């Protein structure tokens, strides 16, 4: 059966690489991935998958199922296909979406032998934005309730096992003052920009009194309209991150109190709002990780050691990892000096090495899926590991 997976991928490689390049050439940001969604769902429909779109409040989300007549485990693949605003596919999501779809398509013909079900979850807006981080919406809608395990592979500058990620609370703040002529009658104004600057100063002070895992970073999206008008309205967006969702929420509450204090000090009013889904930390499952490492090595990849001091980001795959066993490893597509969210990584995502990484990722994902479908004892051990993590 592993030979059949390899043969399928070999026969289809040019077709699926072309899909990846098409998505790369048509970058679409959060919840606007209409081209990529249609492209991927059409491929799945043509190969016998039942496809539903417009999922859990995301028009460009989809759930695609291939169900065998014989019962068995349910294995999920996570597909991402959104781009970065202003940069395009500088995180390689064109590779992620296509590798997960290719893995599912190569595994589906074997289900009549193994039994079970394969699901591809098309999850928009991983990079954030309004109503971003769709996996959190999918979790809330209960779409993973009957799934036994889930996986994806992210392109990177090394091949590595899943590591933990930071929880992230995206929150925006608005300050409301009163306009006035800045020179003629400043005493009649209430300066919303003063409130915003005080707020940023307070957040900077908070950074001295948090644990080393905490990251707080924000931008002012509206700071006023003209220098001779006292600003009546300002707005900022922040990400508050930490190793665990509990710490993240604790720090977020402190940031909110700082905003209230800045408003009180300046006579302004403040409103705050979570403008996209809260992202939970990614739980690491060692047995699941070992399965990835074993198969990646068999495919011919060198799985590098993890640097414990390496900085971490956030991913909404973390939300999935809180409800079912999930892995989010990486496969090398570029030199170690190249990092994601850059023009160099964007080019790597359609390079020869990037195309090879897509095919390697698909084979690894499909072979992991095959092992979980055919080895009930291994799947039971991974699920037991998940249950132990639930009580942490």
**Per-residue 3-state assignment (H helix, E strand, C coil) for 93-134:** HHHHHHHHHHHHHHHHHHHHHHCCEEEEEECCCCCCCCCCCH
Question: Quick one: pLDDT at residue 392?
Answer: 45
pLDDT computed for residue 164 by the predictor: 94
Residue 307 confidence (pLDDT): 79
Interval 257-295: pLDDT, tens: 999 999 999 999 999 999 999 999 999 999 999 999 999
- Residue-wise pLDDT for 161-195, tens only, equals 999 999 999 999 999 999 999 999 999 999 999 99
Residues of the chain with pLDDT under 50: 392
Token readout for 148 is: 């036994």
Q: Count the neighbouring beta carbons within 10 Å of the beta carbon of residue 233.
A: 17
Task: Using alpha carbons, select from 326, 344, 324, 325 the residue that is nearest to residue 336.
Answer: 344
Cβ atoms of 302 and 122 closer than 8 Å: no
């Amino acid at each position: 059966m592993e030979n059949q997976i390899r043969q399928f991928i070999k026969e289809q490689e040019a077709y699926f690489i072309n899909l990846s390049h098409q998505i790369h050439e048509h970058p679409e940001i959060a919840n606007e991935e209409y081209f990529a969604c249609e492209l991927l769902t059409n491929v799945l429909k043509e190969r016998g998958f039942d496809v539903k779109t417009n999922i859990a409040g995301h028009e460009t989300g989809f759930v695609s199922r291939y169900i065998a007549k014989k019962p068995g485990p349910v294995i999920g693949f996570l597909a991402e296909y959104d781009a970065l605003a202003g940069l395009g596919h500088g995180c390689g999501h064109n590779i992620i979406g296509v590798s997960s779809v290719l893995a599912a398509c190569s595994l589906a013909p074997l289900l009549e032998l193994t039994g079970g079900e394969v699901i591809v979850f098309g999850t928009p807006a991983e990079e954030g934005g309004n109503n971003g981080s769709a996996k959190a919406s999918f979790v809330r809608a209960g779409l993973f309730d009957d799934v036994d395990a889930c996986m994806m592979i992210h392109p990177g500058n090394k091949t590595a096992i899943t590591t933990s990620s930071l929880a992230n609370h995206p929150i925006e703040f608005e300050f409301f003052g009163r306009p006035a002529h800045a020179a003629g009658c400043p005493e009649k104004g209430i300066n919303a920009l003063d409130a915003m600057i005080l707020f940023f100063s307070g957040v900077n002070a908070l950074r001295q009194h948090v644990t080393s895992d905490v990251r707080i970073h924000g931008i002012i999206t509206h700071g006023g309209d003209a220098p001779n008008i006292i600003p009546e309205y300002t707005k900022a967006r922040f990400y508050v991150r930490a190793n665990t969702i509990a710490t993240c929420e604790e720090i977020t509450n402190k940031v909110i109190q700082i905003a209230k204090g800045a408003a009180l000090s300046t006579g302004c009013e403040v409103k705050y709002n979570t403008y996209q889904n809260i992202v939970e930390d990614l739980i690491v499952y060692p047995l699941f990780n070992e399965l990835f490492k074993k198969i990646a090595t068999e495919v011919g990849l060198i799985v590098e050691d993890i640097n414990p001091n390496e900085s971490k980001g956030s991913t909404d795959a973390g939300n999935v990892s809180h409800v079912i066993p999930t892995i989010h490893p990486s496969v090398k597509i570029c030199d170690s000096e190249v990092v994601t969210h850059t023009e160099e990584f964007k080019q790597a995502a359609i390079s020869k090495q990037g195309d090879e990484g897509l095919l390697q990722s698909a084979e690894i994902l499909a072979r992991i899926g095959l092992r979980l479908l055919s080895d009930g004892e291994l799947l039971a051990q991974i699920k037991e590991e998940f249950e132990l993590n639930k009580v942490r």
